[in-house]
Each structure stands twice: as structure tokens, then as C-alpha cells.
Amino acid sequence: MASQLNGKVALVTGGSSGIGLATAKRFAAEGAIVYITGRKQDALDKAVAEIGGKVVAIRADSSIVADLERVYATIRDKSGRLDVLFANAGIAAFVPLPAITEEHYDSIVDTNLKGVVFTVKYAVPLLSEGASIILTSSTAGYKGMEAFSVYSATKAAIRQLARGWLLDLKAKKIRVNVISPGMVDTPAIDGLVGDPNAAAGMKAHVASQIPLGRIAQPGDIAAVAVFLSSDEAAYINGVELPVDGGASQI
Ligand SMILES: NC(=O)c1ccc[n+]([C@@H]2O[C@H](COP(=O)([O-])OP(=O)(O)OC[C@H]3O[C@@H](n4cnc5c(N)ncnc54)[C@H](OP(=O)(O)O)[C@@H]3O)[C@@H](O)[C@H]2O)c1
């Protein structure tokens, strides 16, 4: 099969781990020039070695506008345009309502909502005609989950950003789509509960509730990101695609 993203210029925010890393690998394997971001330089260096292909890492925090401006200045200088934007960087924490602090609220909202808004806003001048923007939401954006309300609210907001932006960007025929994974086996899940045994128990419990009998691997989400970025998805615009083994449909 021909490479699906040959010569395209792509940015994956949060490309040093989990879903973003798996997607950056697939983008590079499909012929794209891939830029990745993350806050930790050591994780970015490891990711670059793992991804192979044409990849450039830029240390940047999505919640800081000056960092985003620097990311796009680098892409403009090196590549001159952007064809695919995967606004994926995100963080999560279990905090029940009585324990929500201003710090928890700010950290989740700054990365998951403010970060996505300004990641896309500052990309606009570089986006080519017909570019593809993909936002990472979550099935938590439309299901109630205990101790997850602030995270869930940011993910619900992502869906609505996409609806507005496909209109704001229609003059350049830019598509904006949303991927909503269910549970994916990434370091974020282990970090949510801390203890590895508890994390394994939670993954097994969630897997038992999923019609396909397993939680997702990062590559399951990366495959969908490749499709939505490719010309095969040229007429798909504004959708939210749950990638959850059917869990949210029952
Ligand atoms: N895993 C799941 O079950 C699941 C389910 C639904 C949706 N999601 C969503 O999928 C996305 C990726 O999650 P994941 O599970 O792949 O998590 P992960 O393995 O923890 O990876 C998160 C990535 O985002 C980066 N990141 C975090 N905050 C950042 C910030 N402020 N600025 C720049 N980069 C930042 C991290 O690098 P640094 O820490 O070095 O910055 C890392 O590269 C998130 O939006 C998450 O909400 C995950």
C-alpha cells in the first residue's frame, strides 16, 4: 500500500508518550515529517530515537502560549507549513468533588482546554488548504465518571470546539475531527492510580465491561489518527469518533 501521509508535515502535541508517541511513529512510517512536543526533554529524546524517520522534537508546554509560538516559529522556519495537527497533549487525575482544589482545576484546564485552544489558534497561519486537525477528547467527555469531573468537562468542551472551528476554518477547507478513546493502556493510566497492582486491576475490570474484551493499545488510536489525517478521510469533517471497543454504545 502507498504511504498515506507521504510528504505531509504533521505536529503531534504530547508526542513523547502513549497515544501521541504511537501516532508519531505511524505518521513517520506513513511518510510524514513529524514534529512532536512534550515538557520533558529526556522523554522527547527517547521518543525521537524510537520514532525514527523524519522527526523533530520541540520541548514545549501546551498551556504556555509563548511555548506554542516558539513551536510554530520552528515549524515555519524548517517546513514552511503544517498539513496535519494532532492536538493530543493532555493530563488526568482522579479527584472527587470535595477534594477539588484551585490547583487541580487550573492544571487540568490549562493543559486540556486552554492548551488545545491555543495549540490550534497559533497553528492557523501555517495550516495548508485542506489540512486535517484532530483533537483528542475521551469517552469521559459524555459519560459520568466518579472523581473525574474536571477532566471530563475539559473533554466535553473539546467536542464543542471542533464544531465551532470547522466553521471558522472553512475558507481553507480545513477538516476538524475528534477522537474519543475509551481506556488506553498508556503511562497516564498507571499514573492515575499510582500503584501498579491497582492499575492492573482497574484495567482488567474495565476490559471486562468492553464488548471487544480488552482495553485499547495506543496503536488502536494511532491507526484512526492516520486515517483521519489521510486523503481517504477527505470528506469526514466535524465528527467525534469513539475508539472504545463499543463500550460507550451499550
Ligand atoms: N490513556 C487513556 O485511557 C486515555 C483515554 C481517553 C483520552 N485520553 C487522552 O489522550 C491524550 C494522550 O494521553 P495518553 O494516555 O497518551 O497520556 P501519556 O502517555 O501520559 O502522554 C501524554 C503526553 O502529553 C504530554 N503532555 C502532558 N501535558 C503536557 C503539556 N502541558 N504540554 C505539552 N505536552 C504535555 C506528555 O509529555 P510531558 O509529560 O513530558 O509533558 C506526554 O507526551 C490525552 O489528551 C488524554 O486525556 C487518554
| Digit-coded pLDDT (tens) for 149-208 | 999 999 999 999 999 999 999 999 999 999 999 999 999 999 999 899 999 999 999 999
Ligand 1 closest atom vs CA 215? 3
DSSP class of residue 233 equals G
46 lines ligand 1 (CB under 6 A): no
CA distances from 159 to 33, 135, 240, 242 (A): 27, 8, 7, 11
The residue type of 39 is R
Whether the Cβ atoms of residue 244 and residue 139 lie closer than 8 Å to each other:
yes
Which grid coordinates are listed for 183?
Answer: 481506556
- Alpha carbon nearest to ligand 1 atom 7, residue: 138
Q: For residue 178, what are the CA distances in angstroms to 9, 26, 87, 126?
A: 19, 18, 10, 20
SS3 235: coil
89 alpha carbon – ligand 1 mean position (Å): 5
Residue whose entry in the numeric block shows the C-alpha cell 464488548: 211
Place of cell 494511532: 222
Annotated catalytic, 151?
yes
Q: What is the pLDDT, as a whole number, of residue 2?
A: 67
Evaluate if residue 1 carries a pLDDT over 90. no
Q: Which atom of ligand 1 is nearest to the CA of 191?
A: 20
Q: Which atom of ligand 1 is nearest to the CA of 137?
A: 7
The strand pairing partners of 180, in sequence order, are: 242
- Say if ligand 1 is within 6 A of residue 154 CB: no
Q: How many residues does the chain have?
A: 250
- Using CA positions, which residue lies closest to atom 37 of ligand 1? 38
Residue 15 CA to ligand 1 center (angstroms) comes to 8
Amino acid in position 80: G
Domains along the chain with CATH numbers:
9-181+218-235 (3.40.50.720), 187-215 (no CATH)
Q: What is the mean pLDDT of residues 137-159?
A: 97
CA-angle at 119, arms to 75 and 220, nearest 5°: 90
